[in-house]
Structure 1
Amino acid sequence: MLLVVGIIICFTHIFATIGSSPIVLWHGMGDSCCDPYSLGSIIKLIERQLTPTPYIHSLRIGSNIEEDQLNGFFMNVNHQIDYACQLLNADKNLSKGYHAIGFSQGGQFLRAIAQRCPNPPMLNLISIGGQHQGVFGFPRCPGDNITICNYVRELLRIGVYESFVQDHLVQAEYWQDPHQEATYRKVSVFLADINQERIFNEQYKTNLLKIGNLVLVKFLRDTMVYPNESEHFGFYAENNTSKIIPLRESSLYINDLLGLKIMDQQSRIKFLESDTNHLEFTDQWFIDNIIPFLKD
């Protein structure tokens, strides 16, 4: 198992530009902070669209890009959140607030940041394909990570809710089996906690309500996230994978455990869609749908 020796930041500017709110990015599974063809292209797109050019802080979990990529599979999510919180607190450019954009699993990780680490303040949280009610399936491997993904699948098969798997496999920590809901709520080390399914934490709700907008992007042709409705906080009904419970019919919303009902009533939750596969959006779609939330 990977031993993490450090966490550093990959960023595009040394000093923040006055008059433009900073932006924090968190990549998805199998990706890294600084790949020029993934987040690197997003950074360049944002820089072309916003004037003045904003300070952009792309989280890198590890001492190099390889560690960052591997930690997206094998570093306990709670440890990742703790380290990321320390990095954000130490970054003076973020002290007055920042917009956050999470890609795939980076979406729910940044939501955990909002709930657990309200300082520096998060202005808008943009989740692009984040699995906020978890996943129940691991169908396709991103990029060149076939060997790693096969290992992950084997661990999930052996026992997703075994303590060793929960403590060391990222994807197991947001795996929700609708046929084992009681077990999931009892042993899930990450998702069940941030979704208030075990012990209610009033601070999680208070902190999430501090953000301006929660922007949720669902990919209509998603072949990676099952069910893709999780990207809008929907999920399978208990013991029934033929039925989806949308956010507004869920106990999370009805009991307002995270303040999502309040935010929705205030029109602060934006439900966006892309008629494409997972994270396969065009530059123009990003410009039309995401850039407006990055403008002060």
Structure 2
Amino acid sequence: MLIEIEVMMLVLIFVSSFLCSASSYKPVVLVHGVFGSAVEEFANTFEKWIPHEHPNTTLYPINLYEDVTSIVPMWTQITKIRQRVASIMARHAQGIHFLCYSQGGLLCRGVLSSMDHNVDTFISLSSPQAGQYGIPDIWKKHIGFPCLKSSMYKILYKKFTQKILSIANYWNDPHHQPLYRKYSEFLAPLDGTTVTPNLTEFKKNFLKLRKIVLIGGPQDEVIKPWQSSHFGFFDEKENIVEMKKQKFFLDDDFGLRTLYNQERVSTFTFRGLRHSDWYTNRTVFNKSILPFLT
């Protein structure tokens, strides 16, 4: 009888240990970038690295709007991704993490700002959080943009273009701010740059985050300016205005200043990395991603 009790105790200890291990790390939702896919960007990187370092972590790579379909409008994508994320959240009451790359970082921000969520940490990996003003070669390759960024507002600041092209939704021309505020259907309202009745909800939801991690670097040839990955951006003379001097930060329009003042914003800068290096570089992963996936 004593032996049977000892065996049962060992089994209970083993099961308890397994359950604790299985639930010790929050699930991670992975969102890919423009013209990318979940398999291309994550299958051989985060989907292998995270479980190796944090066993039993559940991963959810979002395989929606991949490749060329990633250029449909931001709110269109967010609506569908939000439905997928809601079902994930329903299975994980303890909370989840967002790890989102490039345009995916803006999609994730739109998702968590527009819903009642339980996202613990939002990791924005080389994402144009303050907008984009520059034409990467990959854009020219896929959709044949003209070469002059100075002329893009003529195409992108139109109601028609805003309703068909994701890039138009966060194109932020520092020389045509009145047009940006008038036509931007995504980033300007999300930042509070344009008055919107949804801003109160955006801010309330944004402030539910425990932590936001912003990652970028000066050799990124796609995010222009690269400081946009840290919520910095150009002024009208194309000088960089850092995050803490941005109007949306100073006015705390969507809660970024509150998070910063509460030490809930972490920024990381890595030199020598091109845009496609971010999700393949183990140093970036080890120093600025893994420590926050607890």
Deviation sequence 1:249-289 (CA, Å, 0-9, x none): 11111101111111111111001111122241421331222
Q: How many residues align?
A: 265
Contact preservation (8 Å) 2:232, 2:243: yes
Q: Which residue of 2 aligns with 1:245?
A: 241
Decide which of 45, 65, 82 is 1:85's aligned counterpart: 82
Whether 1:25 and 2:26 are equivalent positions in the alignment is no
Aligned equivalents of 2:243, 2:230: Cα separation in 1: 7
Q: Where in structure 2 are the equivalents of 1:8-19 lying within 5 Å? A: 17-19=22-24
Q: How big is the shift at 1:292?
A: 0.6
Contact 1:219 1:279 in 2 (8 A): no
SS of alignment partner, residue 47 of structure 2: helix
The letter of the residue matching 1:240 is K
Distance 2:104 2:57 in 1: 20
- Give me the whole-angstrom Cα distance separating, in 2, the residues matched to 1:229 and 1:279: 17
Q: Which residue of 1 aligns with 2:102?
A: 104
**Is 1:34 the counterpart of 2:33 in the alignment?**
no
Instruction: Find the aligned partners of 1:271 and 1:171 in 2 and give their Cα distance.
Output: 24
- Does 2:53 match 1:49? yes
Q: Deviations over 1:67-104 (max 9, x none)?
A: x212212x111011111111111234344321001101
Q: Shift of the alpha carbon at 1:18?
A: 2.6
**Alpha-carbon separation, structure 2, partners of 1:175 and 1:158:** 11
Cα pair 1:156 1:172 within 8 Å, conserved: no
Partner of 1:267: 263
State the 1:17 CA deviation. Answer: 4.1
2-structure distance, mates of 1:44, 1:292: 16
The structure number with the bigger radius of gyration is 2
Q: Which moved more, 1:284-293 or 1:155-164?
A: 155-164
Q: Deviations over 1:202-243 (max 9, x none)?
A: 111111111011100012211111111111101111x211x1
Report the 3-state secondary structure (helix = DSSP H, G, I; strand = E; otherwise coil) of the residue aligned with 1:126. Answer: strand
Q: Which residue of 2 aligns with 1:283?
A: 282
- Give the % identical residues: 25
Alignment of 1:115-126 (within 5 A): 115-119=113-117, 121-126=118-123
Change (3 A) 1:158 1:262: closer
Relative distance call for 1:152 and 1:95 in structure 2 (3 A) is: farther
Please tell me whether the aligned partners of residues 26 and 57 of structure 2 are also in contact (alpha carbons under 8 angstroms): yes
Task: Choose 256-265 or 89-98, whichever is displaced more.
Answer: 89-98
Aligned match of 1:191: 187
Cα distance in 1 for residues equivalent to 2:105 and 2:147: 22
Letter in 2 for 1:254: L
Deviation, structure 1 residue 156: 4.4
2:144 aligned residue (146, 150, 153): 150
Shift of 1:140: 2.1
Deviations 1:16-53 (A, max 9, x none): 94332110011011111222xx21122111111112x2
The SS at the match of 1:240 is coil
Q: Which letter does structure 2 place at the counterpart of 1:148?
A: H
Counterpart CA distance in 1 for 2:60 and 2:147 is: 32
Q: Compute the TM-score of the two structures, normalised by the length of structure 2.
A: 0.84
What are structure 2's unaligned runs of at least 5 residues? 1-20
Distance in 2 separating the partners of 1:268 and 1:125: 11
**TM-score of the two chains, using structure 1 as the length reference:** 0.84
Q: Any idea what SS the aligned residue of 2:203 has?
A: helix
The code of the aligned residue for 1:286 comes to F
Alpha-carbon distance in structure 2 between the residues aligned to 1:151 and 1:94: 42
SS of 1:57's equivalent in the other structure is: strand
